[in-house]
Structure 1
Amino acid sequence: MQDAPGFPARRAALKLLDAVLRRGETIEQSEKSALQGVDANADRALARAIAGETLRWLTDLDLLIDSATKKRLPDDAKPRTALRLMLAQALRLDTPPHAVIATCLPLLSGGPRRLAHGVFSTLMKREVTLPDAPTMPDAVLVRWGAMATAVAPGLIDPPEVDLALKDPAESDERAVAMGGVSLASGHVRLPRGTPIEKMPGYVEGAWWVQDLAAQIPARLLGAGEGAGASRRALDLCAAPGGKTLGLAAAGWNVTALDISGKRLEMLRDNLKRTALEAEVVKANALTYHPAKQFDAILLDAPCTATGTCRRHPDVLHRIGPRQIGEMTEIQQSLIHQAVEWLPSGAMFVYAVCSLETEEGDDQARWIDETFDLEPVPVTAEELPAGISPTREGWVRTHPGMLKEQGGLDGFFIARWRKA
């Protein structure tokens, strides 16, 4: 029997949600399997949007469901999952209730359709609404404390598109031509929806996609031109390559190292498109032996990526103490290696796209206590307008910052010089 129109997208969204909440997978990891049989690009995009909005507002959707049931449905009960998807469509994607019922109740084939139909209809009759900003899961509230309240307004909508420009002098001109805004030299922010490959300047390699916060680590190393030649920089864990491109555009002689061959192909493609140069090395950073010294090392370390929660809301529900502990160990091993390679006078920048204290502040204090490195505090003049360094001279960004301009990814960044 042929599926009703719209049903495959909802079935795929259910599979995506199940993969995240039950198996702890990322949406990207589960897409290949979950989207199998969903052929139309629009339907695939719809499945991702339904799953993303459900995860973004999950705590609030559950509170609504619980308000309309006499006995609380188990977290992993299929009717609860179906109701989450139904409410996300009605309250966030403006899908008419009759269309929600027609496309989502078949998800409960052989199950308690009447229960789901009744709960959904009750909530629609009550004309329920969601709060002004998503409510964070309890575990996140415990870990982030007051910062969770500041982050929440930045999670209301998926992020817009940030571009890093090859030539910073073109910032204002390109922003006007592309219908966007420039929040810093070398940056343009555009509304969501335009295919990347069709944006002006893509073919000629005038820019690459990179969140404004993610552009900061490379900027903190300054220009690469030295006395008579470009200085050498090592971009550790470089793929997919935005920081390598930023360093190369700033005049550095860059070596980009990463263990993932597939992700390095993306870097090579962007280097070719932008006509920028870098030495690309596929290797494990923990066993790599560089044949030369570097004037600067940038380590954008593997992390829990909780700072990307506005674009990847699954991190709010699948990251916990175990993953944080595993990442902090990996980060410290990579920091040890990077510091070993630093000659006297060389600069070291550590960065993570995480909002966890263990991966940011705690690691910076550990570096201060462990190595013969001199902190180089970041100044306000080095940062985009509206972003200020901490009192320690570190950088902490999060999605609630620059909210009126569209927010930022969450990053922790700190800088040192080898004595």
Structure 2
Amino acid sequence: MSDLTVTAKLVPPNPRRIAASLLDGVLGKGRALDDLLADRTIGFRGLTDRDRAFVRRLVATALRRRGQVDGVLRKFLTLWPKGLPREALRLGTTELLFLDAPPHAAVDSAVDLMHPEQKKPRGLINAVLRKVAAEGAAIVAQQDAARQNTPDWLWRSWEQAYGPDLARDIAQAHLQEAPLDISVKGDAAGWAERLQAELLPSGCLRRQAAGAVESLPGYDDGTWWIQDAAAALPAKLLGDVNGKTVADLCAAPGGKTAQLAAMGAQVMAVDRSDPRLKRLKENLKRLHLKAEVRTAEIEHWQPPHVFDAVLLDAPCSATGTIRRHPDLPYLKDETDVMKLAALQQRLINAAWAMLKPGGKLVYCVCSLQPEEGERHMPLLRALAGARIVPADAAMLGVPEDAVTLDGALRTLPCHWAERGGMDGFFAVCLEKTAAPKAAT
């Protein structure tokens, strides 16, 4: 049992203590931050709205700037003494250097995470953080933030896939908190004005200040839903789906299901997770949209009929969403990517079998890793009767370099950097011709 856990039993919970538990849950126990935020034993839900916002920002910044934070601390600690919680020092350093907290408040708050009787750890935390307050800014000024906050395995992968300049731009984009993107059923320009949002070239809305989502105009009426601008693009690759049968595979939490239903499709949303499908159903109810929902393992599922279109948003490493999920670089590695790539190949084959001749399949992943995107192109081309339908940058409202020479969509976090970026997505549309390609 850690010292922080012992202290938590002796002292009533407070925001910074909960932040320490969350940070330890990610970096110490390998748990996803979203799962920890929903864990009732941690106490996050019991905080006030203001304190929840503070804790989210503090933990997200500590994760986003972990490399820099640890780099500063190494200047003053060559060894981590036994019993000294790294979370207290990381959070204190984060507040001092990246959240502009008053030095005395940040130092005292970090020290108070330890029990009063733990005099040696309290003294050491106090001494180190006072040095950080005095000298840390000068150290940060000399750091290479983009490189230092990116784990080696990701940096190597991105340099190889995109080249050193784009790899750096991607990493730089991850240092900024993502804005709030919104998909609307209609009257995007009107809702942009009501929501004080920017109307993006792709048709989505963007608010730089999120605020309390549930209190925004139109939420209770089911007029719109939260969906990153890049995540809204794959469904558009299917073209006009009004009146058509569409299978949304791996559908939860349901942003693309809502999008397809709003486009007039007859949607069957399929996912393996009942809890995630419960959330999907709740979202559809709020939005006054309909879809048939099935719980199934896609690999083994036998649909009741073939479909006019299939959207496969496959399970992936999700490295394209690091702006929104700064814990991801510390929860995944190359082994995960390879396992997921193998699963994606099986799902592609299963999805293709569900498609009518003349129908369209969109395969997509919110990953920056080429193993989960571009390297599947030979398999996709080899599917019986497959023809790639090239993406149209102008129609999608994305930069021209977001469409590859193969006709696939490849968005990067550094696209629209001046507007706040977008998630990294790979997506490609294939049409199943009526007659399979002849063998050669």
Q: Same fold (TM over 0.5)?
A: yes
Kept in 2, the 8 Å contact 1:12–1:38? The answer is no
Q: Which residue of 2 aligns with 1:15?
A: 21
- Alignment partner of 1:247 is 2:253: no
Q: Which residue of 2 aligns with 1:177?
A: 194
CA 139–72 in structure 1, closer or farther in 2 if over 3 Å, else same: farther
- Alignment partner of 1:414 is 2:428: yes
Give 1:360-399 correspondences, 5 Å limit: 360-369=373-382, 371-386=384-399, 388-399=402-413
Distance 1:269 1:186 in 2: 25
Give 1:151-300 correspondences, 5 Å limit: 151-167=170-186, 170-184=187-201, 186-225=203-242, 230-300=243-313
Distance 1:363 1:137 in 2: 25
Unpaired runs of 5+ residues, structure 2, are: 1-6, 434-440
Which whole-Å deviations, capped at 9, do the CAs of 1:134-176 have from their partners, x for residues lacking one? 4312222112213431212322321111110111xx1222112
Q: Which residue of 1 aligns with 2:437?
A: none
Which whole-Å deviations, capped at 9, do the CAs of 1:192-234 have from their partners, x for residues lacking one? 3421121111122211110000000111111223xxxx11111
- Alignment partner of 1:26 is 2:32: yes
- Deviation at 1:7? 6.8
Which whole-Å deviations, capped at 9, do the CAs of 1:46-93 have from their partners, x for residues lacking one? 222221111100111111112233x2448x974443221111112222
Distance 2:111 2:13 in 1: 9
**Which residue, 334, 338, 342 being the options, matches 1:321?**
334
Distance 2:43 2:208 in 1: 26
Q: Which residue of 2 aligns with 1:92?
A: 98
- Deviation at 1:45? 3.0
**Which residue, 97, 122, 134 being the options, matches 1:113?**
122
Alignment root-mean-square deviation, CA: 2.5
CA 274–20 in structure 1, closer or farther in 2 if over 3 Å, else same: same
Q: Which runs of 4+ in 1 moved over 6 A?
A: 1-7
Secondary structure class of the residue paired with 2:27: helix
**Which residue, 302, 309, 319 being the options, matches 2:315?**
302
- Deviation at 1:38? 5.1
Moved more, 262-271 or 155-164: 262-271
The residue type paired with residue 392 of structure 1 is D
Secondary structure class of the residue paired with 1:211: coil
Which whole-Å deviations, capped at 9, do the CAs of 1:292-349 have from their partners, x for residues lacking one? 2211100001111111101110011221022112211221221111011122211110
Secondary structure class of the residue paired with 2:300: coil
CA 201–222 in structure 1, closer or farther in 2 if over 3 Å, else same: same
Give 1:77-88 correspondences, 5 Å limit: 78-88=84-94
- Deviation at 1:15? 1.6
TM-score under structure 2 normalisation? 0.87
- Alignment partner of 1:125 is 2:134: yes
Distance 2:405 2:92 in 1: 46
CA 340–385 in structure 1, closer or farther in 2 if over 3 Å, else same: closer
- Deviation at 1:277? 2.1
Distance 2:324 2:9 in 1: 30
The residue type paired with residue 128 of structure 1 is A
TM-score under structure 1 normalisation? 0.91
Distance 1:244 1:275 in 2: 12
Secondary structure class of the residue paired with 2:311: strand
- Deviation at 1:404? 0.9
Kept in 2, the 8 Å contact 1:53–1:92? The answer is yes
Distance 1:286 1:77 in 2: 47
**Which residue, 34, 37, 48 being the options, matches 1:40?**
48
Which whole-Å deviations, capped at 9, do the CAs of 1:102-144 have from their partners, x for residues lacking one? 1111334425233322222122212515458543122221122
**Which residue, 53, 58, 62 being the options, matches 2:61?**
53
Identity fraction in percent:
36
Which whole-Å deviations, capped at 9, do the CAs of 1:377-397 have from their partners, x for residues lacking one? 112223224353011111111
Distance 1:275 1:73 in 2: 55
Unpaired runs of 5+ residues, structure 1, are: none
The residue type paired with residue 13 of structure 1 is A
Distance 1:6 1:357 in 2: 47
Kept in 2, the 8 Å contact 1:133–1:153? The answer is yes
CA 210–342 in structure 1, closer or farther in 2 if over 3 Å, else same: same
Distance 1:326 1:271 in 2: 32
Secondary structure class of the residue paired with 1:268: helix
- Alignment partner of 1:404 is 2:410: no
Kept in 1, the 8 Å contact 2:45–2:52? The answer is no
CA 6–125 in structure 1, closer or farther in 2 if over 3 Å, else same: farther
CA 315–372 in structure 1, closer or farther in 2 if over 3 Å, else same: same
